[in-house]
Amino acid sequence: MYKSRRKFLQHGAMILPAISMITSCSSQEEEKATTAPIVVSTWDSGLAVNKIAWEILKNKGKAIDAVEKGANSIENTINCCVGLGGNPDRDGHVTLDACIMDENYNCGSVAFLEKIKNPISVARKIMETTPHVMLVGEGAYQFAISNGFKSESDQLSADASKEYKKWLVKSEYKPVINIEKQQGKVNNHAAPAKLEDGSFNHDTMGLLALDTQLNLSGACTTSGMGFKMRGRVGDSPIIGGGLYVDNEIGAATSSGQGEEVIRICGTHLVVEYMRMGKSPHEACKLAIERLVKINPVKAKTFQVGFLALNKKGECGAYAVLPGFAYSVTKGDEGGQVFQSESYFKD
Ligand code: GLY
């Protein structure tokens, strides 16, 4: 079934306890893992992703391999927001953004990539075989093809096609920009983030892992905001936006309205708060507060969630609005889904 992740959470709350435990996570209840390995990821769908990553981590594999394979697993499934099965842009094309970062500040990124199934692996290839960090569009595609990635059909998945047809009825794209921006009253908010039914039209998969060698790595992958302007790129492929890893301190990833995350260099900010001694939960909370402060009225209309993991294997999260969940796996018991605290309570 093809649902926005928020809808899935509402719907799935009844069935999830059978496979995992949903726990409210406050600063006191924050995960206090003292031993590696551990993998954390955004949303309840992260539980299945963590499972793939965990297979690598538990066998003393590297965090960078764990996050890549975990990200591949969701890129290979049909869902609204990650991989070629995701929702298209407003012209009907699926465009993918992803980035990856290892324990040595090596990073790779792709944006506006079409017809390639595993953008995270292309990002890793860029990281490992080129002097560059980021390739976009046609250049990224040609790089992928020349490195053995297969060109896939650009036909929409059945689910995405259905959603796109629904969207085309109104073709609503309402940038809340120019007049107020010109008057200097607000910052530029690129598109309506909240749909009529209260759900959000884009959710990103971000994963952070700490391996048995106590090395951190992260990955972030998405098809971006559904029905976005053609060429729009969000935070997910931006190092310091959708993902940042500092192996001395910790790592952070984000999900939600990318424009808002970019505005504050969100995940870099979270890691810097951890450098100042804040716990992962406190660091995410401070970054969200910074973001809300820019425009508290506007902030009620979009979702951003940060998830962080520090060098000790402690994790935490915080979001603008209720509904952001994250998955934590640190043992063979199958992991847990936690509900993040949020700035606004309803
Ligand atoms: N966070 C994903 C995006 O804004 O595209």
Average pLDDT, the chain: 85
Identify which of 222, 260, 263, 264 to mutate to test ligand 1's pocket (most ligand atoms within 8 A of the CB): 222
Question: What pLDDT does 35 receive?
Answer: 63
The separation between CA 38 and the C-alpha centre of its own chain, rounded to angstroms, equals: 18
Pocket lining: 61 vs ligand 1, CB cutoff 6 Å: no
Calculate mean pLDDT across residues 86-103. 96
What ligand 1 atom has the least distance to the C-alpha of 224?
A: 5
pLDDT in tens, 164-176: 998 898 887 654 4
pLDDT over 70 percentage in the chain:
81
Question: What span, in angstroms and rounded, lies between the C-alpha atoms of 282 and 248?
Answer: 18
pLDDT over 90 percentage in the chain:
76
Of residues 63 and 1, more confidently modeled: 63
Q: Give me ligand 1 centre to Cα 213, in Å.
A: 31
Question: What pLDDT does 174 receive?
Answer: 56
C-alpha distances (whole Å) from 258 to each of 44, 54, 90 are: 20, 28, 17
Q: Which two tokens stand for residue 164?
A: 């796109």
Q: Give me ligand 1 centre to Cα 149, in Å.
A: 24
Question: What pLDDT does 88 receive?
Answer: 94
- DSSP-assigned letters across all residues of 150-216: PPPP-PPPHHHHHHHHHHHHHT----B-HHHHHTTSS--B-S--B-TTS-BS---EEEEEE-TT--E
Question: What span, in angstroms and rounded, lies between the C-alpha atoms of 105 and 240?
Answer: 11
Identify which of 230, 261, 263 to mutate to test ligand 1's pocket (most ligand atoms within 8 A of the CB): 261
What ligand 1 atom has the least distance to the C-alpha of 254?
A: 1
Pocket lining: 204 vs ligand 1, CB cutoff 6 Å: yes
pLDDT in tens, 258-292: 999 999 999 999 999 999 999 999 999 999 999 99
Question: What pLDDT does 187 receive?
Answer: 34
Of residues 75 and 21, more confidently modeled: 75
Calculate mean pLDDT across residues 142-162. 96
Q: Give me ligand 1 centre to Cα 60, in Å.
A: 32
Calculate mean pLDDT across residues 139-148. 98
Question: What pLDDT does 316 receive?
Answer: 98
CA-nearest residue, atom 4 of ligand 1? 258
CB atoms within 10 A of CB 216: 27
What ligand 1 atom has the least distance to the C-alpha of 232?
A: 5
Calculate mean pLDDT across residues 128-155. 98
pLDDT in tens, 3-46: 444 433 333 333 333 333 334 344 444 445 456 899 999 999 99
Question: What span, in angstroms and rounded, lies between the C-alpha atoms of 93 and 88?
Answer: 5
Pocket lining: 95 vs ligand 1, CB cutoff 6 Å: no
Pocket lining: 202 vs ligand 1, CB cutoff 6 Å: yes
Calculate mean pLDDT across residues 110-115. 98
pLDDT in tens, 177-195: 333 333 333 333 333 344 4
Question: What pLDDT does 202 receive?
Answer: 53
Q: Give me ligand 1 centre to Cα 42, in Å.
A: 13
Calculate mean pLDDT across residues 307-317. 97
Q: Give me ligand 1 centre to Cα 117, in Å.
A: 18
Q: Give me ligand 1 centre to Cα 170, in Å.
A: 22
- Name the CATH topology of 3-342: Glutamine Phosphoribosylpyrophosphate, subunit 1, domain 1 (3.60.20)
Question: What pLDDT does 19 receive?
Answer: 33
Residues noted as catalytic: 204
Pocket lining: 234 vs ligand 1, CB cutoff 6 Å: yes
> Which of the residue ranges 25-34, 71-80, 218-227, 311-320 would you say has the lowest mean pLDDT?
25-34
Question: What pLDDT does 90 receive?
Answer: 92
Question: What span, in angstroms and rounded, lies between the C-alpha atoms of 168 and 90?
Answer: 8
Identify which of 82, 228, 257 to mutate to test ligand 1's pocket (most ligand atoms within 8 A of the CB): 257
130: DSSP letter: S
CA-nearest residue, atom 5 of ligand 1? 224
> Phi/psi of residue 292, each to 5°?
-65, -35
Record the pTM.
0.86
